[in-house]
Amino acid sequence: MSAVVGQKQIVKGGSFLIEDRRPEDIFTPEDITDEQRMFARAAEEFLRKEVIPREDEIYAKDYNVHRELMLKADAESAGDFAKAGCKQWTYTGSRHGKLVSMPYWSIPDGAFDDPDEMLAWARAALAAGRRAPSKKKAMRGKPQRQ
């Protein structure tokens, strides 16, 4: 199995063992970019701190835990989350008693067993977060409370 990255063909898996390949065609850890390493560290940290300690609850499909481990969506990506059977975080407003929908969705069940699928959903959530307007607004003449 191989994939083409730019103009370079990258050999994946163990196919290099049974096919004639040049050494430079074989993907090695040295080919990983700094950005990829940074993403891997962030994902590993999240797994160590947030997911692994709650692994038993996750596999037991404890909805309360799944609700805490949610991904952000927006108008552009919410439909994909809905099609995948994800649940949107909602709550009943205390002042008006109406159901309020938040932009956070549960993680699709299949993503827990498939790192590539989890990565795709995480990237979609990151993109939604980046598209969201910043909540920080410049203070206009008002002193900040301490």
Same structural domain for residues 103 and 44? yes
Query: Rounded to whole angstroms, how far apart are CA atoms 37 and 43?
Result: 10
Same structural domain for residues 73 and 112? yes
**Would you say the C-alpha torsion 116, 46, 107, 96 has a positive or negative sign?**
negative
Cα–Cα nearest to 105, from 89, 125, 85: 89
In this prediction, residue 53 carries a pLDDT of: 84
Tens of each residue's pLDDT in the chain, 146 residues:
445 545 566 666 777 778 887 777 777 788 888 888 887 877 777 777 777 887 888 778 776 776 567 788 899 999 999 999 998 888 787 778 888 888 888 888 888 788 888 889 988 988 888 888 765 543 444 444 44
Same structural domain for residues 84 and 63? yes
In this prediction, residue 103 carries a pLDDT of: 86
The first and second tokens of residue 99, run together, are: 């159901």
Task: Let me know: does 68 contact 89? Beta carbons within 8 Å.
Answer: no
In this prediction, residue 143 carries a pLDDT of: 46
- The side-by-side arrangement of strands in the sheet containing 70-72 is 70-72, 99-106, 88-92
Same structural domain for residues 82 and 106? yes
In this prediction, residue 137 carries a pLDDT of: 45
In this prediction, residue 7 carries a pLDDT of: 58
CA dihedral (61, 89, 113, 79) in degrees, to 10, reads: 140
Same structural domain for residues 5 and 74? no
In this prediction, residue 78 carries a pLDDT of: 93
Task: Let me know: does 97 contact 61? Beta carbons within 8 Å.
Answer: no
Task: Let me know: does 10 contact 27? Beta carbons within 8 Å.
Answer: yes
Same structural domain for residues 62 and 110? yes
142 in a structural domain: no
In this prediction, residue 43 carries a pLDDT of: 74
Q: What is the DSSP string of 36-55?
A: HHHHHHHHHHHIIIIIGGGH
Same structural domain for residues 48 and 82? yes
**Structural domain for 73, as ranges:** 32-131
The SS3 of residue 110 is helix
Number of domains in the chain: 2
